[in-house]
Amino acid sequence: MRWRLGLVWIISGGWGQLKLIEEGEASYYGAEFHGRRTASGEIYHRDSLTAAHRYLPFGTYVRVIGKATGHSVVVRINDRGPHRRGRIIDLSEAAARAIGLIRAGVGPVRLEVLQFPLMEEVAFEAPFCDLAGNPIQPPPYAVQVGAFTEAHNARLLALNLEREIEQKVFIWRVRLHGRPVYRVLVGRFSSRAEADQLRRRLWTKGWRTFVVHLPT
């Protein structure tokens, strides 16, 4: 049995067996994106088998099949995009080369989700939580590095950030238009000036950040 939601097919192969398939246009990152930071906090590398998707959780593994060539490649989702209407995935240069997309630049593909992330799920129920989901008392000032509607994606970004810098990272759960939004914050500062020093340091590392004044 199968259901079609727009261009997404959900195919049932029996009880508890669902397969997510999507068809549409793929493109790939230009050379100027090499070394830039992705939405997950990782650095994009042209030779890595990664990709950007609009809604699949970071860490999802997807088989991408080029419909013009029949060649396929497995990529890991670590970024958000594409931003061009009508496209469903942005591939790394290595992934695009594997399916013969380099010369055309854009082409029809079929996506098959192979595996969703296996990272432990954590519930952020209090307004302010550490990365284990425990409630914490917020500082007056911190630096925001990202915001997500999915708790999993917020936590993955936070873990990537925490591995890179020696600062405490935590989650601020707010509601926007009736839905929860998980804001990733770093640092515990008593003044805006202190927080701004960290903001500038993170900016030089490719993090797009700003200082927030938190309710205490």
pLDDT tens-place string over residues 119-164: 778 899 999 999 999 999 999 999 999 999 999 999 999 998 988 8
Name the domain boundary from 94, 115, 136: 115
DSSP state of 135: B
Mean pLDDT for the chain overall = 89
User: CB–CB of 79/90 below 8 Å?
Assistant: yes
Same domain, 185 and 206: yes
Higher-pLDDT residue of 89 and 4 is: 89
Q: Is the pLDDT of residue 1 over 50?
A: no
Interatomic CA distance for residues 41 and 207, integer angstroms? 8
Same domain, 108 and 135: no
Q: Is residue 122 part of a domain?
A: no
User: CB–CB of 44/95 below 8 Å?
Assistant: no
CATH number, domain with residue 36:
2.40.40.10
Same domain, 144 and 108: no
Same domain, 139 and 102: no
DSSP 162-211: HHHSSS-EEEEEEEETTEEEEEEEEEEESSHHHHHHHHHHHHHTT---EE
Q: Is residue 163 part of a domain?
A: yes
Q: How many domains does the chain have?
A: 2
Q: Which amino acid, one-letter code, is at 121?
A: E
Q: Please report the pLDDT score of residue 15 as a whole number.
A: 33
Q: Please report the pLDDT score of residue 170 as a whole number.
A: 97
Higher-pLDDT residue of 206 and 139 is: 139
For 50-77, the pLDDT digits (tens) are 999 998 889 999 999 999 999 999 999 9
Q: Is residue 120 part of a domain?
A: no
Q: Is residue 196 part of a domain?
A: yes
Query: What is the extent of the structural domain holding 78?
Result: 2-115
Same domain, 15 and 111: yes
Q: Which helix (H) or strand (E) holds 156?
A: helix 151-164
Q: Is residue 7 part of a domain?
A: yes
Same domain, 95 and 132: no
DSSP 6-72: TTEEEEE-STT-EEEEEEEEEEE--GGGTT-B-TTSPBP-TTS-EEE-SSSPTT-EEEEEETTT--E
Same domain, 64 and 162: no
Interatomic CA distance for residues 17 and 33, integer angstroms? 37
End-to-end alpha carbon distance in the chain: 52
Q: Is residue 85 part of a domain?
A: yes
The pTM of the full predicted model, rounded to 2 decimals, is 0.75
Q: Is residue 144 part of a domain?
A: yes
Q: Which helix (H) or strand (E) holds 94?
A: helix 93-98
Q: Is residue 168 part of a domain?
A: yes
Same domain, 92 and 188: no
Same domain, 134 and 84: no
